[in-house]
Amino acid sequence: RRASRGAGMPINSAVNVVAPAEVCTAVAEMVADISNSKHFDREAILQEPLSFSQAYCLLWQDNHSGDLDGRKSCIPLQVGLIGALVLDLTVLGKLIVTSRDQELLGFKWKKHTLLVTDPTPTGYYLDDAFFSKVLERVAKKGTRGRALEDWFAEFFDGHAAKHVLTDLSRQGVVGVVKGLCGMKKFPTLNPEPEQRLQSDLRALLLEDRSAPSSFLQCLVTLLRGIDSSLFSSCLLKPRFSTEEYAKAKPKAETLAQECRQSPAAVESPEEEPEAADCPVIRYDSQR
């Protein structure tokens, strides 16, 4: 079902769109750095009212029209959401991302591998958005040696956002409106979660704070990384005036650099850990 790759450009068969390899690689490196950072405190992040993917979609979504600009066409935004889902599943202990130095014919690079550590479904939207697809593929083909960017290339599409926002609609945060060709839009009903998130981001990036929360620092790292790959910054910048963003942007870049360059003090194993055995799970794309 999946088209073969050509010239190093992964193909997403669901929408027949080419996912540039450099986008998938850049986001994979960023997600690996975040998930293995000393600032990625799983226990603290679990206490937050929003997950990474929920926060990402609320910042991406137009709260009046309910649309997500570039949902079907902007590859960095799509891949960024899959990255947020990987972080959410890592927080829950379902996945880990390992990073190991590689060398071939004098060329050196880091290989970032996604492994399933707990194949039990979460029971939340994370399953439909990404995890069930991973479990189904793992059950059929295994994961050993599969690079994180290959997961991004295979499973990025506009459907992940739908599952995240559908869950938020069940909580009364957004509504659901059917648009042209059956495409759903998700206008805001309860603005409080997004307003609180925006207030926290503004306070972090405009005020002098001693230390950001683990969640906010990792989220800013992800948002700034995706924005930097776009012609126009559409996740963080709209939350600030032009003058404010001139101050907020350098602060965001500093926080991102700290997060990405501060690996947790954990010894890397000599061998990659064994992936968990996964049952065969049929993924229902209509759910």
Q: Highest mean pLDDT: which of 39-43, 137-141, 184-188, 281-285?
A: 39-43
Q: Is residue 284 part of a domain?
A: no
pTM of the full predicted structure?
Answer: 0.85
Which residue would you say has higher pLDDT here, 7 or 270?
Answer: 270
b/e map 13-43, b = 16+ CB within 10 Å:
eeeebebbbebbbbbbbbbbbbbbbebbbee
pLDDT of residue 14: 38
Q: Is residue 286 part of a domain?
A: no
Mean pLDDT, residues 155-170 taken together:
89
Mean pLDDT, residues 270-285 taken together:
44
Please, which pLDDT band fits residue 4 given cuts at 50, 70 and 90?
Answer: very low
Tens digits of residue pLDDT in 100-133: 877 778 787 788 999 999 999 999 999 999 999 9
Q: Is residue 270 part of a domain?
A: no
Please, which pLDDT band fits residue 146 given cuts at 50, 70 and 90?
Answer: confident
Tens digits of residue pLDDT in 201-217: 999 999 977 789 999 99
Cα radius of gyration rounded to whole Å, the chain: 18
- With a cut of 60, say whether residue 198 has pLDDT above it: yes
Tens digits of residue pLDDT in 19-77: 588 899 999 999 999 999 999 999 999 999 999 999 999 999 998 888 887 555 588 89
Q: Is residue 82 part of a domain?
A: yes
Task: Provide the terminal-to-terminal Cα distance of the chain, rounded to the nearest Å.
Answer: 20
pLDDT of residue 17: 46
Q: In what helix (H) or strand (E) does residue 216 lie, and over which residues does it extend? A: helix 214-227
pLDDT of residue 159: 85
- Average pLDDT for the chain: 83
pLDDT of residue 265: 67
**What domain count does the chain have?**
1
CA 104 to the chain's CA centroid: 30
- With a cut of 60, say whether residue 18 has pLDDT above it: no
Taking 3-state DSSP, the helix, strand and coil percentages for the chain, each rounded to the nearest 5, stand at 50, 15, 40
pLDDT of residue 73: 55
Q: Is residue 3 part of a domain?
A: no
- Residue 30 belongs to domain with CATH number: 1.10.3630.10
Q: Is residue 283 part of a domain?
A: no
Strand duo 95-104 + 184-185: pairing = unpaired
Confirm if 100 and 272 have CB atoms less than 8 A apart.
Answer: yes
Q: Is residue 267 part of a domain?
A: no
Angle at 70 between CA 284 and CA 205, to 5 degrees: 110
pLDDT of residue 56: 97
Among 7-16, 45-54, 243-252, name the one with the lowest average pLDDT.
7-16
Q: Is residue 245 part of a domain?
A: yes
Can you tell me the distance from the alpha carbon of 252 to that of 258, in angstroms, rounded to the nearest whole number? 10
Range of the domain at 150: 15-260
